[in-house]
Amino acid sequence: MASLKSIKKRIVSVKNTRQITKAMKMVSAAKLRRAQENVVAARPYAKKLGEVLQSLSANIEGDLHPLLEKRDAKKLLLIVITSDRGLCGGFNTNLCKAADRYIKENASTYEQISVMTVGRKGYEFLKSRYTVYKNFANVLAKPNYQTAAMLAQEVIDGFVAEEYDKVELLYNSFRTVMTQDITFEQMLPVAPEAAVASDETPVEFIYEPSVSELLAEILPKNIEVQIFKAMLETVAGEHGARMTAMDSASKNANEMIGKLTLQYNRARQAAITTELMEIISGSESIKG
């Protein structure tokens, strides 16, 4: 049986850990509210921009912009967005495993698969398995649109230069505090969803300036918005996952403290009983 001193030391250690996990949960809960508000605010804009792009594409014949060019997809760029910090359960691990699985399943489909990571955890997981094309760390602490625009320009320049023929985006989409969905999105070439069949007579628009000039503005903007939205979703998901993980860790610490306290009391009782037996035995031997 462990000594009283070692058990007491473990109890103190677990209590200190519990204090840290509780503090981390409170910090994540405070940051989650702001991150969730940002996600909710960004989603309608991204949706409406997609609808505008869909409306434009319905009247397009041929490739009026390089980002619409459909090639024989031989070179793929996979962008993986994870967090920079851990202690958030399986938030990063599940996403990285999904990326690993996707690359292995499509290894025979493409001649070349390049990986771009946003976030330190994704880079650390994938760098030992694949060649990471580029890595952008420490950009999610305070996600901003300028960073998303910079990343989008990197992707657009590579696609136009034919360094890759297709671009896929992989990230955790925020649903609830306890749930994040692993999401794949095709970024390039831009492929707007087909319009839903309707009995209504389609409305004809007169575009000013021309459709090609509108596409030159909207298509790059759409890539920027997609990346920015994915960054915001990742940040909100990270805080939600960390809050849940730290809450679970605090509960486990409480259970461990209870078990250790019981063990400590039993060991202390056994020590007292042993001491009493020794006193009684000594007293009896003196009388004898």
Active-site residue among 67, 77, 79, 88? 88
Is 50 exceeded by the pLDDT of residue 195? no
Please classify residue 76 by burial: count the beta carbons closer than 10 Å to its beta carbon, then call 0-12 exposed, 13-18 middle and 19+ buried. Answer: buried
DSSP string, 246-276: HHHHHHHHHHHHHHHHHHHHHHHHHHHHHHH
pLDDT of the residue at 288: 60
Known active-site residue 88: yes
Q: How far apart are CA 172 and CA 230, in angstroms?
A: 8
pLDDT of the residue at 69: 82
Taking only the tens place, the pLDDT of each residue in 42-73 is 999 988 888 878 777 666 655 677 888 888 88
Percent pLDDT > 70 in the chain is 91
Distances (CA, A) of 260 to 8, 21, 96, 132: 8, 19, 36, 46
pLDDT of the residue at 205: 63
Write b or e for each residue in 22-50: b if 16 or more Cβ atoms lie within 10 A of its Cβ, otherwise e: eebbeebbebbeebbebbeebeeeeeebb
Mean pLDDT of all residues belonging to the chain: 87
182 forms bridges with which residues in the sheet? Answer: 172
Taking only the tens place, the pLDDT of each residue in 83-118 is 999 999 899 999 999 999 999 999 999 999 999 999
* 3-class DSSP state of 173: strand
**Contact in structure between 96 and 121 (CB atoms under 8 Å):** yes
**Contact in structure between 168 and 78 (CB atoms under 8 Å):** yes
pLDDT of the residue at 62: 57
pLDDT of the residue at 194: 46
**Contact in structure between 91 and 238 (CB atoms under 8 Å):** yes
Q: How far apart are CA 195 and CA 181, in angstroms?
A: 25
pLDDT of the residue at 61: 59
Taking only the tens place, the pLDDT of each residue in 144-187 is 999 999 999 999 999 999 999 999 999 999 988 888 999 999 99
Q: Tell me the average pLDDT across 264-276.
A: 87
Q: How far apart are CA 135 and CA 68, in angstroms?
A: 26
All domains of the chain, ordered by start, with CATH? Answer: 23-244 (3.40.1380.10)
pLDDT of the residue at 156: 93
